């Protein structure tokens, strides 16, 4: 069942065998990349990689929540999306705080590890984005998955650029700047998800209680 953005129709709610299978694939990709990138971020001493690894973990957990929410009422699915939005908000705040702390240390990260891992992470997220492309206009629960995957791909490109800038400048500032930018992206997406979820939670009773 394709996503629908028509105002006079219910948005795609995830009730599709194909969509469930795609979600399992995307969850596996994110779980693997969290483990791999966490080790790489420690080795490279990179805040940008650390923020990206945390995002992979958050995505794995929230995509699992998306699977659980599929088939429930619109209000239940919207509540799940609200939880994911709040989680993304907390992640953004954590990255902001960690980045501010890193400013006091300013150790130069390993740009070779940053760049190579950034390329691998981008390939992983680009695959997820392509798999989820047709579902980007679903309800808040479904759309949150698309937004998170899109954010990850954008963040990976920024990490790759930061690795090049670290090599040129021999300072940690590009790494810190990217981590800060990723935190702002988390906060922006959190606001989009929370706003849509709040609107769906307050929807008229007949729509909010609809189950596909």
Sequence-ordered list of residues with C-beta below 8 angstroms from that of 83, at least 6 positions apart, any chain: 65
- More confident: 160 or 146: 160
Instruction: Report whether pLDDT(117) > 90.
Output: yes
Instruction: Report whether pLDDT(3) > 70.
Output: no
- Of the candidates 77, 71, 74, which has an alpha carbon nearest to the alpha carbon of residue 206? 74
Sequence-ordered list of residues with C-beta below 8 angstroms from that of 17, at least 6 positions apart, any chain: none
* CB 15 within 8 Å of CB 72: no
- Of the candidates 127, 115, 109, which has an alpha carbon nearest to the alpha carbon of residue 159? 115
Instruction: Report whether pLDDT(2) > 90.
Output: no
| pLDDT band, residue 206 (cuts 50/70/90) | very low
CA dist 108 and 171 (Å) reads 5
| Residue with tokens 């509540």, as numbered in its chain | 79
pLDDT tens column, 26-61? 999 999 999 999 999 889 888 888 888 888 887 887
CA dist 90 and 164 (Å) reads 29
- Which of the residue ranges 58-62, 117-121, 152-156, 184-188 has the most confident prediction, judged by mean pLDDT? 117-121
CA dist 205 and 97 (Å) reads 40
Averaged pLDDT for residues 5-30? 74
CA dist 23 and 28 (Å) reads 9
In this prediction, residue 39 carries a pLDDT of 93
HSE on the CB side for 87, CA within 13 Å?
Answer: 19
CA dist 79 and 140 (Å) reads 9
- Which of the residue ranges 44-53, 92-101, 139-148 has the most confident prediction, judged by mean pLDDT? 44-53
SS3 content of the chain, % helix, strand, coil (to 5): 80, 0, 20
Instruction: Report whether pLDDT(6) > 50.
Output: no
In this prediction, residue 82 carries a pLDDT of 85
In this prediction, residue 62 carries a pLDDT of 78
Joined together, the tokens standing for residue 82 give 């609200």
* CB 37 within 8 Å of CB 121: yes
pLDDT tens column, 153-169? 887 888 899 999 999 98
CA dist 150 and 139 (Å) reads 16
Claim: this prediction has a pTM higher than 0.85: no
């Amino acid at each position: 069942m394709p996503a629908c953005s028509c105002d006079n129709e219910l948005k795609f709610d995830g009730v599709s065998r194909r969509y469930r299978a795609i979600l399992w694939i995307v969850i596996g990709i994110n779980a693997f990349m969290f483990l791999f990138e966490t080790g790489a971020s420690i080795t490279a001493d990179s805040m940008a990689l650390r923020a990206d690894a945390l995002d992979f973990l958050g995505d794995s957990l929230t995509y699992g929540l998306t699977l659980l929410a599929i088939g429930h009422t619109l209000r239940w699915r919207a509540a799940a999306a609200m939880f994911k939005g709040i989680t993304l908000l907390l992640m953004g705040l954590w990255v902001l705080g960690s980045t501010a702390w890193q400013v006091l240390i300013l150790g130069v990260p390993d740009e070779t590890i940053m760049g190579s891992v950034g390329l691998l992470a981008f390939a992983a997220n680009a695959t997820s984005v392509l798999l989820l492309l047709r579902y980007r206009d679903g309800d808040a629960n479904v759309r949150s998955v698309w937004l998170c995957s899109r954010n990850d791909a954008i963040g990976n490109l920024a990490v790759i650029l930061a690795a090049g800038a670290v090599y040129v400048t021999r300072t940690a500032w590009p790494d810190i700047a990217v981590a800060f930018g990723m935190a702002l992206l988390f906060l922006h997406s959190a606001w989009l998800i929370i706003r849509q979820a709040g609107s769906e939670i307050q929807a008229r009773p007949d729509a909010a209680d609809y189950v596909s």
